[in-house]
Amino acid sequence: MPELPEVETVVRLVRPKLVGRTIEGADVRWERTLGGASAGAFRRAVVGARVASAWRRAKYLVFDLERDGATAGWLVGHLRMTGRMHVERDGWDPGPYGRVALRLDRGKVLHFVDVRKFGRLRFVTDLAEAFAGLGPEPLGDEFTAEAFAAALRRRRRMLKPLLLDQSFVAGLGNIYVDEALHEARLHPLRLASTVGPEPARRLHAAIRRTLAAAIEREGSSFDAFYRTPEGQPGSYQHQFRVYGRAGRPCPECGRPIRRLVVGQRGTHVCPGCQPRPRTRR
151-195 pLDDT, tens digit each: 999 999 999 999 999 999 999 999 999 999 999 999 999 999 999
Residue 114 CA to residue 146 CA, distance in Å, equals 40
| Packing angle, helices 197-216 and 145-153, rounded to 10 | 120
The residue-averaged pLDDT of 15-23 equals 97
Q: Say yes or no: 31 and 124 in one domain.
A: yes
Instruction: Please name which of 169, 175, 166 lies closest in space to residue 149, comparing C-alpha atoms.
Output: 169
Q: Say yes or no: 78 and 155 in one domain.
A: no
The residue-averaged pLDDT of 15-42 equals 97
Instruction: For residue 113, give the DSSP letter.
Output: E
Number of residues in the chain: 281
pTM of the predicted model as reported, rounded to 2 decimal places:
0.94
Q: What are phi and psi of 250, to 5 degrees?
A: -65, 135
Q: Say yes or no: 48 and 155 in one domain.
A: no
Q: Say yes or no: 193 and 237 in one domain.
A: yes
Plot region of 48 (φ>0 → left; ψ -120 to 50 → alpha; else → beta): left
Q: Say yes or no: 123 and 94 in one domain.
A: yes
What domain range is 61 assigned to?
4-130
Out of 72, 97, 130, pick the residue that ends a domain: 130
**The total number of structural domains that make up the chain:** 2
Q: Say yes or no: 112 and 227 in one domain.
A: no
**pLDDT at residue number 2:** 87
Residue 134 CA to residue 141 CA, distance in Å, equals 15
In a domain, 61, yes or no: yes
Confidence of residue 281 (pLDDT cuts 50, 70, 90): very low
**pLDDT at residue number 234:** 87
Question: Looking at the annotation, which residues are catalytic?
Answer: 2-3, 59, 265
Q: Say yes or no: 76 and 173 in one domain.
A: no
CB 120, CB 42: distance < 8 Å? no
In this predicted structure, the answer to whether residue 224 has a pLDDT above a threshold of 70 is no
Q: Say yes or no: 265 and 215 in one domain.
A: yes
105-127 pLDDT, tens digit each: 999 999 999 999 999 999 999 99
What CATH number is attached to the domain comprising 196?
1.10.8.50
SS3 state at 250: coil
Q: Say yes or no: 101 and 215 in one domain.
A: no
